[in-house]
Amino acid sequence: MKINRREFMGGALGASALAGFPMPAISQSAPIRIGCITSLVGGYSQFGQNHVRGMEIAAEAINAAGGVNGRKLEIVVRSDDLKPETAVAAARELAASGVRIFGGVNSSGVALALSGIMGELDSVLLTAAAHGNNLTHEDFRPNYFRVTDYSAMRIGAGSHLMAQRYPNVRVWGSISPDIQVGRSVVEVYNSRLPEAYRKLHNAEVQLKDTVWVKFGATDYRNEIARLISQGIEGLVIGVGGTDEATFLQQATQLGLASRLKAMYTTGSEFVAPMALKNRMPANFWSGFHWYYGAYRDNPIAKQVVETFRAKGYGQHPDGFIGMAHTVVLAIAAAMKNGAGDSSKELIPALEGLKFDTVKGPTTLRKEDHQALCDVNYALIGPANNQDGWEVIDSARIDGTPFAGDPTPGIALKFG
């Protein structure tokens, strides 16, 4: 009897299926591929690079310990160029090659675009940075989780910290970019700062008009003059990244920084001190996704810091490292609890998940998939050392009271 190739293939596949040939076993031992979509070009690329590093550090540690249920983790990296359309294209491309779990993401706009297609791709997205209030509120998507704090928590906790540390600073100003995350920051600050002073000191604070700036501006001198003319004593800074460095550079030159008794930011982490070095202003509190110095007692944090330094990445791992690491830990914890890597299994396993991270125990709230975790701030000033700056003080604030009620599908309300 002559058998052609087509008949042979059909027969072989049929026989394999009947015999329970180890085809499912192949997928069970195959690595769990996690797509890291983040910004690897442009002014935010250093954060994106640290997303990659953080996820890789976590994957390497888990793989060295035997993987997740015997399966290794593999991080597949794509750049979103900080553009939603590029991110969506990257996610579709990775999904076509079998990737069902995504992490990373810097921008809230990119997170919003990606969360919108996760259901269609039967995938799950866990972001490590995007800060917009909307992502876990009015724009909530079931296939989206955020493992770090967000604007409401960060600025809420920061406002509380300011009221605690600077009880006599009563005239506050704000500068923020005219984009969604900037509006979120000001909305929270307008509500939470007066609330904190009332609660802690039974005192009223005066909030001056917000100074709105163009995203990506190179000149803040007029805005600085306006802030000086407002006679403020404290300032919340909503501009981030390169813009924050430019603003602080010009604010120190024009004497605004020296007039202020307190400043706090949404969080460019070490960007400002690394840029300004010994020209850093005093009383500058930088917000962090994770400030490693506040967790010297945490074994996971300790391991991340040691690996980061051993790999020669530098001396100061930032929160982008820490939160990207947390993304991988969340996935591993959910899968260790028995979930597969499909979104149908992973989403219920992630909902309400409590797991240990670089910031200690973190819970992914069941209702809106928002992480309930610490909020970190560090007081950074100039120093006569190799860096030119040093962390003078730091704060670990429980973010839960500032996270607000879970209202998936409904915008967060303030005041």
Partner 1 sequence: MTMLYLYSIFNGLVLGMAIFLVSAGLTLAFGIMKIFNFAHGAFFMIGAYVAYAVTGQEASSLWIFLAAALIATIVVGSIGVLADLTIFRRLAGVPADYTLMAAFGIMLFCTGSTRIVFGQGIHAIYPPAILGGIADIGIPISYYGLFIIACGLAVFLMLEIGLNRTWLGKQILAVARDPWMADVLGLRVRRLKLISVATSFALAGLAGGLLVANQALSLDLGHSYLLLAFCAVIVGGLGSIRGAFIAAIIFGLAESLNSVLMPTMPGISSYALLIILVLIRPHGLWPEQSQ
49 binds partner 1 (CB under 8 A): yes
H or E segment and range at residue 127: strand 124-127
Q: Are 376 and 295 in contact (CB under 8 A)?
A: no
Measured from the CB of residue 267, what is the shortest distance to partner 1 in angstroms? Answer: 15
Q: Is 401 in the site for partner 1 (CB under 8 A)?
A: no
Q: Which is nearer to partner 1, 256 or 333 (CB)?
A: 256
CB of 42 to partner 1, least distance (A): 5
Q: Which of 22, 66, 216, 401: binder of partner 1 (CB under 8 A)? A: 216
Residue 290 CB, nearest approach to partner 1 (Å): 20
Binding partner 1 by CB under 8 A: which of 181, 196, 213, 379? Answer: 213
Q: Binding residue for partner 1 (CB under 8 A) from 241, 287, 399, 404? A: 241
Q: Is 271 in the site for partner 1 (CB under 8 A)?
A: yes
| SS3 state of residue 122 | coil
Nearest to 37 by CA among 155, 128, 167: 128
Rounded to the nearest whole angstrom, what is the least distance from the CB of residue 383 to partner 1 in the complex? 15
Of 23 and 225, the one with the shorter C-beta distance to partner 1 is 225
Among 211, 232, 260, 395, binds partner 1 (CB under 8 A): 211
Give yes or no for a contact between 108 and 135, defined as CB atoms under 8 angstroms apart: yes
Taking alpha carbons only, the member of 346, 349, 343, 409 closest to residue 120 is: 343
CB within 8 Å of 333: residues ≥ 6 apart:
353, 355
Residue bearing tokens 């993304």: 327
Cβ at position 135, least distance to partner 1 in Å: 24
Q: Does 282 bind partner 1 (CB under 8 A)?
A: no
User: Which tokens in the block code for residue 383?
Assistant: 């120093």
Distance of CA 61 to the CA centre of its chain: 21
Question: Residue 96 Cβ, how far from partner 1 at the closest point, in Å?
Answer: 25
Chosen residue from 9, 12, 23, 41 binding partner 1 by CB under 8 A: 41
Q: Rule CB under 8 A: say whether 385 interacts with partner 1.
A: no
Contacts of 142 (CB under 8 A, 6+ apart): 119, 347, 369
Work out how close the CB of 242 gets to partner 1 at its nearest, in angstroms, rounded to a whole number.
4
227 vs 329, beta carbon nearer partner 1: 227
208 binds partner 1 (CB under 8 A): no
The correct pick among 31, 33, 42, 400 for binding partner 1 (CB under 8 A) is 42
258 in contact with partner 1 (CB under 8 A): no
For residues 309-335, one letter each, b for 16 or more C-beta atoms within 10 angstroms of the residue's C-beta and e for the rest, the string is eeeeeeebbbbbbbbbbbbbbbbbbbb
Choose between 42 and 348: whose C-beta lies nearer to partner 1: 42
Which is it for strands 374-382 and 284-288: parallel, antiparallel or unpaired? antiparallel
Q: In this structure, are residues 190 and 223 in contact, taking their beta carbons and an 8 Å threshold?
A: no
* Structure token digits, residue 252: 């120190």
Query: Which position among 46, 63, 303, 363 is part of the footprint of partner 1 (CB under 8 A)?
Result: 46
Decide whether 219 or 367 has the Cβ nearer to partner 1.
219
Helix (H) / strand (E) element for 333: namely helix 319-336
Task: Please report how close the Cβ of residue 252 comes to partner 1 at its closest, in angstroms.
Answer: 9
Per CB under 8 A, which region of 105-113, 116-124, 213-221, 282-290 contacts partner 1? 213-221
- Tell me, residue by residue from 151 to 180, as one string, x for binding to partner 1 by CB under 8 A and - for no binding: ---------------------------x--
Residue 212 interacting with partner 1 (CB under 8 A): yes
Q: Of the candidates 239, 246, 241, 242, which has an alpha carbon nearest to the alpha carbon of residue 263?
A: 239
Rg of the chain (C-alpha set): 23
Task: Give 117 or 217: the residue with its C-beta nearer to partner 1.
Answer: 217
How many Å apart are CA 327 and CA 335, to the nearest integer?
13
Interface with partner 1 (CB under 8 A), residue from 246, 303, 363, 407: 246
Instruction: Please state the length of the chain.
Output: 415
3-state secondary structure of 162: helix
Nearest Cα to Cα of residue 58 among 41, 27, 34, 79: 34
Q: How many residues bind partner 1 (CB under 8 A)?
A: 39
Structure tokens at 320: 């982008």
Helix (H) or strand (E) holding 363: strand 360-364
Contact footprint for partner 1 (CB under 8 A): 41-43, 45-46, 49, 178, 209, 211-214, 216-219, 221-223, 225-226, 229, 241-243, 245-246, 248-250, 253-255, 271, 274-277, 279
